Amino acid sequence: MMLVGVALGLCSVALVGRAAWIQLVNADFYQRQGEARFVREIPIPTSRGMVTDRNGEPVAVSTPVESVWGNPQELLRHPERLPELAQALGVPADELMSRLSQRADKEFVYLKRRINPDQAKAILARNIPGVFSQREFRRFYPQGEAMAHVLGFTNIDDRGQEGLELAFDEWLRGKPGSKRVIRDRHGRIVENIELVSAAEPGKDLTLSIDRRIQFLAYRELRNALNTYKASSGSVVVLDVATGEVLAMVNLPSYNPNAVGGGSQDAHRNRAVTDLIEPGSTMKPITVAAALSAGKVTPATRFDTSPGYMSLGRYTIRDHHNYGVLDVSGIITKSSNLGAVKLAEPLSPQYFYEFIRSFGYGQAPNSGFPGEAIGSLREPARWDGLTKATMAYGYGLSATPLQIAVAYAALGNHGRLITPTFVKGQVNEARQVVKPEIADQVLRMMQTVTEPGGTATQAAILGYHVAGKTGTARQAAAGGYARRYTTTFAGLVPASNPRFATVVVINDPQAGSYYAGLVSAPVFRNVMEDALRLMDVPPDDIDTWLAAQARGEAKRQASLPPLPAALEEPAEDPTIPPAMVGGGGVP
């Protein structure tokens, strides 16, 4: 008995010593071990910043959703509940079992992400062991396809993947927080220990885009593509004075709220990534180059007869034999021969540097991901035809945005401003051509939309419109195909331009393929409403009043004659003049 008592006493001393060692001497180690089993640091989700148009209307917002997750170890201990869980999740039972089995050594797996909170609540209401939910956020785009290429979209983790969502991802994303909690053996949170770091919501972003003009451009471009059975198209609208992008539309488009559907080719923002040969929209730049070099004056005349000319083994042609044209007439009639003759006295290096100063051959630096720089070969790589073909828009390539920036410079008295998608951002402007020359070219471009020009369908009642058409054949293996890119670039109102707009339609298959008939009406329809929405005063009152008078005269002429009983009676000397036609006469 004494030996047993001594043994039990020694065991008690050992247990007390061990307890003291664990709880007093080495307490930190065992505390960490315990926390590793029950204490978890979990993230605190934060909402992504809202994106609005220039008027404060939301175009990208984040909405709270729930994500259902599970503990594979706990779920696999209750295999009889898995068919019920699969039914609630809407997935095959064998697929769910396979996913859980592959992660049998883990404690976390997403079962269904970013679903309606009511759906998550219904799943949790089944009380299946090892199933939980957590708060997340999902991006929603109210404008859908109309703004898809500008905004882009986010992935399932709410990270920007394309467009401005990608360009401003760090600004919009914010910073998730974290907190330390205690979970029970079922994974349920039983206590919040401490806040490790507070969540910082993303910052809002105000775009230069006007969603009203954006939708107008989308609607008119879609109608044009349907009418002419064209494969694709783009519209870019810039504010001439600030360089702000007011609208940028591409078709075909996609739904950013359901990114999985549709063709990947439709995700491309063609206005900043796709290159086209500018065609005749290059001629105003050629005219500006010739005037700046002092080689011609606006009154200089060129003989373009007989409507074609040989250059090496190639022949350059005009649509008609325009005979003798002055510099303005070259733009009005869109004469290829006139453009070639204008560029002829210019040195290759001067012509190259002048074109480049308008933004061709270099990135627009708008901040949009994936901007193309275009193609503008240096003079050392030119052949005997390069300068001639570049004069009327072949042999170089540019994006619709680059063309819009160049035309905005002409409308801004020769000052080129880097484009921006952020409202109020002030970018540096540089003078690329003398103001008086830019204004002269602008007046010449005005004749394009007037009677006798190539784009009378771009004319807007009450406003002077300056613009230029461009109908270019598309490059193909071994030369050019019988497929066309139709472009119209314009400025309105011409007396003090507010908007620079470029319309590009690729490969029209039905009806006409001329830019003056395909792209110019899109410009007119978009700008007509945009001018009204932005309260831009008309600068051609006389034409508007004349049109109103003609319309009233036509209306009066179309009215049927009044019945004889209602006609004003002829003056009768027996009736006092004051009563003729008055209420006193039956």
For residue 67, the cross-strand partners are 134
Tokens of 407: 């035309």
Rounded Cα–Cα distance for residues 212 and 82 (Å): 50
The alpha carbon dihedral of 570, 573, 577, 581 has a sign of: negative
Where b means 16+ CB within 10 Å and e means fewer, 314-336 reads eebebeeebeebbbbbbbbbbbb
Q: If DSSP codes are grouped into helix, strand and coil, which group holds residue 362?
A: coil
Angle at 403 between CA 213 and CA 416, to 5 degrees: 90
Structure tokens at 540: 């051609």
Query: What is the chain's alpha carbon radius of gyration, rounded to the nearest angstrom?
Result: 36
User: What's phi and psi for 315, nearest 5 deg?
Assistant: -120, 125
- Catalytic pick from 62, 133, 232, 280? 280
Say how far apart CA 298 and CA 190 lie, in whole Å. Answer: 84
Q: Which candidate, 499, 555, 552, 553, places its Cα nearest to that of 524?
A: 499
Q: What are residue 267's phi and psi, to 5 degrees?
A: -80, -15
Contact residues for 354 (Cβ-Cβ < 8 A; gap 6+) = 285, 288, 289, 292, 346
DSSP string, 39-104: EEEEEE--PPPPEE-TTS-EEEEEEEEEEEEE-HHHHHT-GGGHHHHHHHHTS-HHHHHHHHHHTT
The position carrying tokens 């917002």 is 61
Per the annotation, the verdict on 280 as an active-site residue is: yes
Could you give phi then psi for residue 503, rounded to 5 degrees? -120, 125
Q: Do residues 325 and 291 touch, judged by C-beta distance below 8 A?
A: no
Assigned token pair, 175:
């910073």
Contact 519, 471 (CB under 8 A): no
String of DSSP letters for 465-504: -EEEEEEEEEEETTEEEEEEEEEEEEEESTTS--EEEEEE
Closest C-alpha among 295, 284, 254 to residue 502: 284
DSSP string, 379-398: GGG--TTHHHHHHTT-S-BB
For 178, residues 6+ apart whose C-beta sits below 8 A from its C-beta are 41, 42, 43, 44, 196, 197
Residue numbers annotated as active site: 280
